[in-house]
Amino acid sequence: MAESVLAIANVSKSFGALKASDDVSLDLRPGEIHALIGPNGAGKSTLIAQIAGGLKPDAGAIRFLGEDVTHLDTVGRAKLGLGRTFQVSALAMEYTALQNAVLGAMGASGGIFRFFRRALSDQGLRDVAEKALARVGLSDQAGTVTSELSHGQRRQLEVAVALTLNPKAFLMDEPMAGLGEAGSKEMTAFLDSLRSEAPILLVEHDMDAVFTLADRISVLVYGRIIATGTADEIRGDPEVRRAYLGEAV
């Protein structure tokens, strides 16, 4: 088995008496889409925050590309190549789609401390940004201010900004949310093609997308991973059915 790109080992995190992450272990292998599902309040967001670097686990370790990143902050992990998208769009709302994508390209290329040349005149940055926008199908909206984009277009822009970083792994928090049926299908097809570039840890509520895309699925309930396996294994798992899927599938 190839070495994991991202490995979360025995991670725990409590808020007072609430165990938001309870001895969680999961890994992301090259070329795969690993979906993380679970009912609301299962601790998905807390886990994502710990993987991205916004929260420090109380116990356990997180390894990324073979390196222990448990004590690295968000910026450090981003620089190593962790491309994250947010559940609630965290985009610069006053900026155009292109500016948001250029921001990503700047982060990847470095050289932030340049004060004179207009960033948008930098053809290198523009190329990276425009290519990313084209890939998610947002080329027509490049000049649109983000606050005027539809909800679904912002989800696409989230993914485009992550693409500009050329990441080694994607961490995607509900990229399908609010996309509508057609949009969801397009995004599913796109993510399907993306896995060969970098593996994706996908948190998603859209079960059709999850079962179409995921090579493996982990089910999180009350902070614990109760099962990890292929789509068929998860579908057949009695504990999962009882805890979660019974209502959904």
Partner 1 sequence: MSRETLINIALAAILLAVPIWAHFADEPFIITLSTKVAILALAGVGLNLALGLGGLVSFGHAAYFGIGGYAMGILASHAQDYTPFMEWPFVIEGTNQMPIIWLVAVVMSGLAALAIGALSLRTSGIFFIMITLAFGQMFYYFAISWTAYGGEDGVSIYVRNEFPGLNTLDAIQFFALAFTALMLALIFSSRIAKSRFGLALTAARQAEQRVETVGIKPFQLRLTVFVISGMITGLAGALMADLNRFVSPVMLSWQTSGEIMIFVILGGVARLFGPVAGAAMFILMEHILGGFSEFWHGWLGLVLLLIVLFARGGLIGVLAGKEKADG
Count CB neighbours of 58 within 10 A.
14
**Binding segment toward partner 1, per CB under 8 A, in 83-91, 179-187, 218-226, 229-237:** 83-91
Q: Which is nearer to partner 1, 60 or 81 (CB)?
A: 81
Please tell me the distance from the alpha carbon of residue 77 to that of residue 202, in angstroms, as a whole number: 17
Residues 58-77 within binding reach of partner 1 (CB under 8 A): 73-75
| 112 versus 182: smaller Cβ distance to partner 1 | 112
CB of 97 closer than 8 Å to CB of 144? yes
Contacts of residue 179, Cβ cutoff 8 Å, sequence gap at least 6 = 152, 155, 186, 187
Q: How far is residue 95's CA from residue 145's CA, in Å, rounded to a whole number?
A: 5
Does residue 95 bind partner 1 (CB under 8 A)? yes
- Give me the least distance between CB of 226 and partner 1, in Å please: 30
> Minimum CB separation from partner 1 for residue 54, in Å?
8
Q: Restricting to residues 98-157, name those near partner 1 by CB under 8 A.
A: 98-100, 102-104, 106-108, 111-120, 122, 125, 143, 145
Helix/strand/coil for 40? coil
- Ranges within 163-192 binding partner 1 (CB under 8 A): 164-165
In contact, 174 and 116? CB cutoff 8 Å: no
- On whether the CB atoms of residues 118 and 50 are closer than 8 A, the answer is no
Number of shown-chain residues binding partner 1 (CB under 8 A): 42
Which residues here bind partner 1, judged by CB under 8 A? 52, 54, 73-75, 78-79, 84, 86, 90-96, 98-100, 102-104, 106-108, 111-120, 122, 125, 143, 145, 161, 164-165
